[in-house]
Chains A and B, each alone.
Chain A
Amino acid sequence: MIRRSTTFWRALLLAFCAAVAVWLVAPSLIVVPLSFTDRASFNFPPSGWSAQWYTNFFTDPSWLWSLEASLRVGVLVAIVATVCGTAAAVAFSRTRFFGEQGLRALLLAPMIVPVIVVAIGIYAIYLRLNLLGTTLGFVVAHSVLALPFVIVPVLASLQGFDRRLEDAAAICGARRWTTFRTVTLPLVAPGVLSGALFAFATSFDEVILSLFIQSPYLQTLPVRMYSSVTRDTDPTIAAAATVILALTTALTVLASIITIRRSRVH
């Protein structure tokens, strides 16, 4: 950019960025070696190696149930948020209608409002409706938080979508749902899939709200981890963290493949 810059400055900048990048990525990796420690402590570096914490993780009912709960809720949230969010995005991209700006801000507000504020309200309501620690309660609450993360990529996809294709389909005799199913959806699928992945990740990762609406019957994995950090010095949490890392890495890779393939097609 500033072409007259000496290579020295550019090298310095690159070194700086490398340091920042390491600072961004490396810390999380520390959980991996820690999960293989042979002692029941967080002492790092570990003095010996053992896989017992993984065995613990996969046999301890409380950990397993929390993993299963997180996966179950996550998948359901992905479905609910994607369906609702995609429908909303279609509505926003198609017409101008009364209250559009307001509704858009409303549906995206959960992204900006601090979660804890909403959480105490939801806690109060769930308390009265007996929804604490229920799958329904979790799915509904997480879906609201995940909704903006579906709407944004799907809306972006739809806005980059050539609307005359839908006109062409209409002239060929296709009604609106058929047009959506055969023409629009296949072409915005990457945006929808990104949204679904974001929704799953948002739910799977959610801590604050889940801390409030949990019960002994239903704890999501992050909640279980949180109580583990505050109460035990049991490195099983490191094993759990590694499992999560592996899962999110796989999802990220999947999402990047989808994005790369999308940019190649169009």
Chain B
Amino acid sequence: MTLVDVFSGGAAPPQSRTETEGARRRRRGAYALLTPSVILVIGVFVVPLALMLWRSFTDPVAGFGNFTWYMGDEVQRRVLLRTFTTGLEVTVICLVLGYPYAYAMVAFGPKVRAMLTLLVLVPFWTSLMVRTFAWVILLQDNGPAHTILSLIGLGDVQLIRTNLGVVIGMSQILLPFMVLPLYAVMAGIDRKLVLASSSLGARPLTSFIRIWAPLTMPGVGAGALMVFISSLGFYVTPALLGSPDNALISQQIYVQVNSLLQWGRGAAMGVVLLLLTFVVLAVLMLALRRASRQEQSS
């Protein structure tokens, strides 16, 4: 079950041939079952978001003050841009590393596939703090990574407290989010299509580029979506691997709220981040849906 399925209501596979009903009774029962979850989500999710939205327009004075400040502040603009580019860099790296990895999961036999699956799920289960801390140790000045690089001759590159370090760390942490959707789509592609193409005389590489690769686009889209959106909201990794000079938006929000007690400004930034997330989500889901509709009609 992919994320896209889950959000679009999923395909409910009917196991029985007739629909099971008892309409009124069932409906009441369904509402009762949902009540605790809904209360939880409204109380601890919707209300805080609404409060934050409210604060962004009313703290310290009513109006768009916080937003005009944000749009006007050059530091903040740079931070936003940096967040965006970092997200893009991470997404591209994950795609470059993840695409062949997912392909290998489809191309090789069950034993290799099981091994690869297990290995890609391991970081999933490892605590974020542990992974980030591990990178802190690895990338520290005169740490192991530095030592290895100087052996190759790239000795003077600083890794920690740089954007480079942040990108490296985030890519490793987010790679599974790229591999899994990609694999799911790749596994569903009918191999006979490529065989058909080669039986028509196309060379293997041509078959690959023209037939198979385009069919993986929905997976690429889903994976890129998940990685990019996750990276927008990352806090811990950028905070520990980066520095205040190259902070990302989530770190800035933390600073505004916790250190500067500028609730209104922090809230406004939160609103911007939320908007950004929804826009990216909407764009990519529309693209995905159009791609799958094209696929169905062709």
Query: Using a CB–CB distance below 8 Å, which chain A residues touch chain B?
Result: 1-2, 4-5, 10, 13-14, 16-17, 20-21, 23-25, 27-31, 34, 42-45, 80, 83-85, 87-88, 90-95, 97, 100-101, 103-118, 120-125, 140-141, 143-144, 147, 151-152, 155-156, 159-164, 166-167, 176, 201, 204-205, 207-208, 211-212, 221-222, 225-226, 229-230, 237-238, 241, 244-245, 248-249, 251-252, 256
Q: Indicate if the CB atoms of A42 and B140 lie closer than 8 Å.
A: yes
Partner of B274 from A101, A113, A147, A205 at Cβ < 8 Å: A113
**Assuming the A-B contacts A100-B9, A114-B233, are A176 and B51 also in contact, with contact meaning beta carbons closer than 8 angstroms in the complex?**
no
Which of B25-33, B60-68, B151-159 lines the interface with chain A? B25-33
Which residues in chain B, 125-157, are within 8 Å of chain A measured between CB atoms?
125-131, 133-138, 140, 142-144
- Report the bound CA distance from A95 to B150 in whole Å: 63
Q: Indicate if the CB atoms of A108 and B7 lie closer than 8 Å.
A: yes
Q: In the assembled complex, how far is the CB of residue B79 from the closest CB belonging to chain A, in whole angstroms?
A: 14
- Report the bound CA distance from A125 to B46 in whole Å: 12
Q: Indicate if the CB atoms of A103 and B9 lie closer than 8 Å.
A: no
- Report the bound CA distance from A208 to B49 in whole Å: 16
Q: Indicate if the CB atoms of B116 and A21 lie closer than 8 Å.
A: yes
- Report the bound CA distance from A246 to B40 in whole Å: 32
- Report the bound CA distance from A16 to B112 in whole Å: 13
Show 30 A/B contacts (Cβ-Cβ < 8 Å), sorted by A: A2-B208, A10-B107, A17-B116, A20-B100, A20-B175, A24-B176, A28-B126, A28-B131, A30-B137, A31-B130, A45-B144, A85-B37, A94-B30, A95-B29, A108-B6, A108-B7, A109-B45, A112-B277, A112-B281, A114-B232, A114-B274, A115-B235, A116-B250, A120-B266, A141-B44, A144-B40, A160-B13, A244-B129, A244-B130, A252-B122
**Assuming the A-B contacts A91-B33, A147-B40, A248-B126, are A120 and B9 also in contact, with contact meaning beta carbons closer than 8 angstroms in the complex?**
no
Q: Indicate if the CB atoms of B240 and A124 lie closer than 8 Å.
A: no
Q: Indicate if the CB atoms of B52 and A44 lie closer than 8 Å.
A: no
Q: Does B214 contact A (CB under 8 A)?
A: no
Closest to A95 in B: B26
Q: In the assembled complex, how far is the CB of residue B286 from the closest CB belonging to chain A, in whole angstroms?
A: 16
**Assuming the A-B contacts A121-B48, A156-B1, are A31 and B128 also in contact, with contact meaning beta carbons closer than 8 angstroms in the complex?**
no
Residues of chain B within 8 A (CB-CB) of A208 are 235-236, 250
Residues of chain A within 8 A (CB-CB) of B232 are 114
Residues of chain A within 8 A (CB-CB) of B33 are 87-88, 90-91
Q: Indicate if the CB atoms of B10 and A155 lie closer than 8 Å.
A: yes
Residues of chain A within 8 A (CB-CB) of B36 are 83-84, 87
Most chain-A CB neighbours within 10 Å: which of B44, B107, B208, B270? B44
- Report the bound CA distance from A154 to B50 in whole Å: 29
Q: Indicate if the CB atoms of B51 and A121 lie closer than 8 Å.
A: yes
Q: Does B267 contact A (CB under 8 A)?
A: yes
Size category of the B interface is 35 or more
Residues of chain B within 8 A (CB-CB) of A93 are 12
Q: Indicate if the CB atoms of A30 and B138 lie closer than 8 Å.
A: yes
Q: Indicate if the CB atoms of B129 and A120 lie closer than 8 Å.
A: no
Which residues in chain B, 1-47, are within 8 Å of chain A measured between CB atoms?
1, 3, 6-7, 9-10, 12-16, 20, 23, 26-27, 29-31, 33-34, 36-38, 40-41, 43-47
Q: Indicate if the CB atoms of A117 and B49 lie closer than 8 Å.
A: yes
Q: Indicate if the CB atoms of B233 and A115 lie closer than 8 Å.
A: yes
Q: Indicate if the CB atoms of B123 and A25 lie closer than 8 Å.
A: yes
Q: Indicate if the CB atoms of A28 and B123 lie closer than 8 Å.
A: yes
Residues of chain B within 8 A (CB-CB) of A21 are 101, 116, 119-120
Closest to A162 in B: B15
Q: Does B84 contact A (CB under 8 A)?
A: no
Q: Does B106 contact A (CB under 8 A)?
A: yes
Residues of chain B within 8 A (CB-CB) of A24 are 119-120, 122-123, 172, 175-176
Residues of chain A within 8 A (CB-CB) of B125 are 201, 248-249, 251-252
Q: Indicate if the CB atoms of A163 and B49 lie closer than 8 Å.
A: no
Q: Indicate if the CB atoms of B104 and A17 lie closer than 8 Å.
A: yes
